Amino acid sequence: MCQSENRQGPELQAAAKWLHFPQLALRRRLGQLSCMSRPALKLRSWPLTILYYLLPFGALRPLSQVGWRPMSRVALYKSVPTRLLSRAWGRLNQVELPYWLRRPVYSLYIWTFGVNMTEAAVEDLHHYRNLSEFFRRKLKPQARPVCGLHSVISPSDGKILTFGQVKNCEVEQVKGVTYSLESFLGPRACTEDLPFPPASSRDSFKNQLVTREGNELYHCVIYLAPGDYHCFHSPTDWTVSHRRHFPGSLMSVNPGMARWIKELFCHNERVVLTGDWKHGFFSLTAVGATNVGSIRIYFDQDLHTNSPRYSKGSYNDLSFVTHANKEGVPMRKGEHLGEFNLGSTIVLIFEAPKDFNFRLKAGQKIRFGEALGSL
């Protein structure tokens, strides 16, 4: 028995070395990966990570035993070049379609997303030369009557995700998922541009926005689906004094993605308009999304979104308060304000007295002109 075991020893050792060879080779390759630059490492890790999540039965799980770790699903999604893809989609949307192809293409889109073309100012599908014109179609004047009884109306068609008071400087993205108010709006700009007074460093960012004693800060998030009307309007009578543009990612903002990625709205490109209304501070933020490379504000000709010249992580400001115009840009309730290229999200953050009441339910569909709330 002992002699047999001794004879098998070298054979077993050789087999063990052969079995360990792939692990040693993988460790060596992973060591080389760890020395690579971050962009190159991401590029080399993508294929393995994608296969890790796509292949059945955990086929690549043995790799984790030799030190390799896949990127998380969130990190993998964040690494997708959504800005570049959105710019390409925008170029494609501007390609003029042949006359004979317009009706079948637009009809497919109408059927897929439930578009109501009877509300469109021009119902003839042949009128729209490209997808961009179709996305930005106007409505008949009587299609969206503006509610005059309530002080704040919906600026767009869409779905109500969250609403209520802002608490602890955190705003709800969707139920149970929050983001930082200061990260979303950015640091306070010069007091000459914004309506709220200076505040000491001890005060919270939320308290800096509340200009009048006894008032509270409120928020409302409206998600625009691809089939919705893509223009947005002024939600109340107010004066816009400042614009802040955050270049950023263009990840999807549908409710499922908003539950998945914390502070999604703070990562995405957005345009923040701030000013004041009769009760104090008021802001409207247009948040970009995948394939929504274009956010247009009608009175701001200097705004260019999803532009390669702007890098993520920065922001650029523009004040509408000048020596010639001491007040800013006055907006009337229901007046045209801007438009998206496809569909996205509108976030309202505003100051109002404590007896302000929302007339909403989370998840409800709403149309431009309908009441959001009033005193």
pLDDT exceeds 80 at position 246: yes
pLDDT tier at 154, thresholds 50, 70, 90 = very high
pLDDT at 100 over 80: yes
Q: How many CB atoms lie within 10 A of CB 44?
A: 14
Q: Which residues contact 362 (CB under 8 A, 6 or more apart)?
A: 160, 161, 162, 163, 175
Q: In what order do the strands lie in the sheet with 371-374?
A: 152-153, 371-374, 357-358
Structure tokens at 239: 């004066």
List residues with catalytic annotation: 157, 233, 344
Structure tokens at 74: 């969130």
Most confident by average pLDDT, 6-15, 53-62, 246-255, 337-346: 337-346
pLDDT exceeds 60 at position 152? yes
In this structure, are residues 270 and 349 in contact, taking their beta carbons and an 8 Å threshold? no
pLDDT at position 141, please? Answer: 83
For strands 231-233 and 280-287, give the pairing.
unpaired
Task: Output the pLDDT for position 324.
Answer: 75
CA distance 233 to 210: 24
Interatomic CA distance for residues 253 and 241, integer angstroms: 27
At 345, phi and psi to the nearest 5? -140, 140
What pLDDT does residue 356 have?
Answer: 92
Q: What is the pLDDT of residue 169?
A: 82
Model confidence over 323-362: pLDDT tens digits?
777 788 999 999 999 998 776 889 999 999 999 999 888 8
Could you tell me which of 234, 227, 214, 259 has the C-alpha nearest to residue 352? Answer: 214
Tokens representing 133? Answer: 């014109």
pLDDT (tens digit per residue) in 22-75: 544 544 454 444 444 444 444 445 555 555 555 554 555 555 554 555 555 556
Q: Is the pLDDT of residue 200 over 60?
A: no
> Residue 221 in contact with residue 365, Cβ under 8 Å?
no
The predicted pLDDT at position 294 comes to 79
Cα–Cα nearest to 187, from 285, 312, 317: 317
pLDDT number for residue 38: 46
What residues pair up with 220 in beta bridges, in sequence order? Answer: 163, 348
204-218 CB burial, b ≥16 within 10 A, e <16? ebbebbbbeeebbbb
Return the structure tokens found at 285: 């933020």
